[in-house]
Chains A and B, each alone.
Chain A
Amino acid sequence: MLIQILNGFVYGGLLYILAVGLVLIFGLRRVVNFAHGGLFMLGAYIGYTIASIAGFWVGLVASVTVLAVLGVVMDRVVFRPLQDEDPIVTMLVTFGILLVLEDLVRTIWGKDFLTLKPPAGLDGIIMLSGSSFPVYRLAVIALAVLVAGGLSLWLRSSRVGLHVRAASVDPVTTAMQGVDTERLGATVVAIGAALAGLSGTIAAPLLALSPSMGSFILIDSFVVVVTGGLTSFTGAFVAALLIGQLHNLGVVFVPAAASVIPLVLMVLVLLWRPDGLAKKRS
């Protein structure tokens, strides 16, 4: 049972790192980035390729860097030019990007499943109350906690973080206060994309790589974001852990219906609190 719960935390951690990027981007640009699943997948593949040449850690750094750059490009080419349009337009465009990315990955890396080994030092197994558990998975949990801690520290104590929080509550007023939301936008989208790359690469040793891996986890992270309240970082954290657990228990006990369980949770949360777990100040 302990093992199952830990596995739930592993998946929850991955979900959190991905979902919090969506929350960041949504907060600032008020758009849902459907391409996020594509970025996750691209991150996994880039990490995979470079890791097989130069080792896991180089792969991880490379993937995060490439994705951050891609984030800046996306902000320049997509989010900024479209920011005065109906959010539907941007949403459709990012959905289009997702489809293109899936095809791109399929063309470059092929359809077959690929797997990556955990890095040396973390590839062992430890015994926990009589069962064995991969060390790498514990490391993933630790990393998710680290990201959450780092992010909340950054949001709370740095100037940029303050602006990001302010802009998430009210982008227009924040811009009027003289905050350079353009630069802020590029930074935030870059961080969001980098986090997608990060979660993609650390997921590579856990999940099999396939061109559709992005869409599967994207959907769970959507559920996390909505359940958490769209703009709330804490809400996303709590929702990710909850949904990670539910998803995992579902896979173990009712495999056929595993994908439905997080949705049921979400619908219940929305009926209880229409604005998500973290009740928004309206």
Chain B
Amino acid sequence: MKMRVLLPLLFAAAGALLPGLVGSTLLMTLLTQAVINAMLATGVGFMVRQNGMVSFGHAGFFGLAAYIVALCTTNHVVTAEFAVLLAVALPMLLAFLLGLAILRIAGVAFSMLTLAVAQSFYELMLRWRELANGDDGMAAELPPRLFGAGIAVFQTPESMFLVCWAALMVVLAGLWLLSRSHFGTLTIAIRENEERARFIGYETLLPRALVYALSAGIAALAGVMFALYNAFVTPDVLYWSLSGEALVMAVIGGTKAIWGPALGAVIFFLFKDVAGDLTEHWPAIIGGTLIVVTVLLPRGASGSLLALVERLGVRR
């Protein structure tokens, strides 16, 4: 039990030391991107873990959040702080309402629809040029200070890595606590056997919609970090290949452990770096990896890791 708390804490602290240890800015840039994507993948994976449903459209929430930050700050409609809150809250609300409508249908249909919804955001931003400058993307005019910190904090790889790392650790810890709560047990029960959950007296739509909202909120948080870091968004942040990538990360990492998708994201980025010259064929590589990992390693890296730990007789 102690190990269960101590080990993650040590890990979180070790991660925070990275910027001091890694000399190369290039590598820090890569790591920061990896952590932002790890957040997105965590959202996708949480949905699979708690709801047993696969979302092919989390880029929709990620990109929506990024656009909300960019649009709000550039048009000065609200303060940047409020824009950040809005960018997380609106996608959550949207997912919740959408969930109430589409979570009632079969899992496969849900997957199809998540894809459709995300793609409609993409086309909206692509076509509505007056709003978001279409294909060329738009810059976010961020204020000089945000949440009391200089904006440079969010745009320098070393410091932004720390911000993102801390956010990721907090989200993972929160999800871990949630998974051990009554709500966590209930949602797993619904995932396992929706009918019996009703027969023991539980409403089953609302909890699933809440999980969907939460998972969308995590993706949105990743989108906010992306927008702050790059201060520039294009419709690509809404495109389905990003949803696909997030899903691949979650699958590579395995969704049984809450931290699995995040691990998958890191592996994914290292792999992408190694693939280097081949990145021209990146979609095919993602597709191929997805096929191979789903079929051969259904429990993903985290599953294999846990199995290994168990075999070595280390008590968790």
Contacts and interface: CB of A to CB of B under 8 A. Distances in A.
Direct interface between A and B, CB < 8 A: yes
Interface of A: 26, 30-32, 34, 82, 87-89, 91-93, 95-100, 102-104, 106-107, 215-216, 219-220, 222-223, 225-226, 230, 255-260, 263, 266-267, 270-271, 274-276
Contact of B291 (A96, A223, A263, A270): A96
B178 interface: no
A256 B128 contact: yes
16 contacts: A32-B112, A89-B295, A92-B290, A93-B290, A93-B295, A95-B290, A103-B281, A103-B283, A107-B281, A222-B115, A256-B128, A259-B124, A259-B127, A263-B113, A263-B117, A270-B101
Given A96-B288, A99-B283, A260-B120, A266 B106 contact: no
Given A259-B123, A263-B120, 20 more contacts: A30-B108, A82-B295, A87-B107, A91-B111, A93-B295, A96-B289, A96-B290, A97-B291, A98-B287, A99-B283, A99-B290, A100-B284, A103-B282, A103-B284, A107-B281, A215-B119, A219-B116, A226-B109, A226-B113, A259-B124
Nearest to A220: B116
A257 B124 contact: yes
Contacts of A223: 112-113, 116
Contacts of B115: 219, 222
Interface stretch (B13-21, B148-156, B239-247, B261-269): B239-247
Nearest to B112: A222
Interface in B235-289: 240-241, 244, 247, 251, 281-284, 286-289
B284 A259 contact: no
B184 interface: no
Contacts of B108: 26, 30-32, 87, 91, 230
A96 B101 contact: no
B98 interface: yes
B287 A97 contact: yes
A100 B292 CA distance: 13
B214 interface: no
Contacts of A266: 113, 116
In the A-B complex, the 6 residue pairs with the closest CB atoms: A99-B287, A103-B284, A259-B123, A256-B128, A96-B290, A96-B291
Interface in B91-126: 98, 101-102, 104-109, 111-113, 115-117, 119-120, 123-124
Given A89-B298, A256-B124, A271-B101, A222 B106 contact: no
B204 interface: no
B54 interface: yes
B237 to A, nearest CB: 16
B133 interface: no
Contact of B241 (A99, A104, A263, A267): A99
B294 interface: yes
A215 B54 contact: no
B106 A230 contact: yes
A223 B123 CA distance: 15
- Interface of chain B: mostly helix, strand, loop or mixed: helix
A250 to B, nearest CB: 10
A103 B127 contact: no
B61 interface: no
B286 A260 contact: no
B283 A93 contact: no
Contact of A89 (B106, B127, B244, B294): B294
B102 A270 contact: yes
B103 to A, nearest CB: 10
Contact of B104 (A100, A259, A270): A270
Nearest to A257: B124
B211 to A, nearest CB: 16
A255 B284 contact: no
Contacts of A216: 119
B101 to A, nearest CB: 5
A274 B290 CA distance: 31
B292 to A, nearest CB: 8
Nearest to A99: B287
A96 B281 contact: no
A220 B291 CA distance: 24
Contacts of B117: 263
Given A223-B116, A263-B120, A100 B128 contact: no
Nearest to A26: B108
Contacts of A256: 124, 127-128, 131
Interface centre among B128, B240, B251, B283 (most CB of A within 10 A): B283
Contact of A226 (B105, B123, B286, B298): B105
Contacts of B109: 32, 225-226, 230
Nearest to B109: A226
Interface centre among B101, B107, B108, B287 (most CB of A within 10 A): B287
B56 interface: yes
A270 B109 CA distance: 11
Contacts of A92: 54, 247, 251, 290-291, 294
B118 to A, nearest CB: 9
A260 to B, nearest CB: 5
A270 B105 CA distance: 8
Nearest to A22: B112
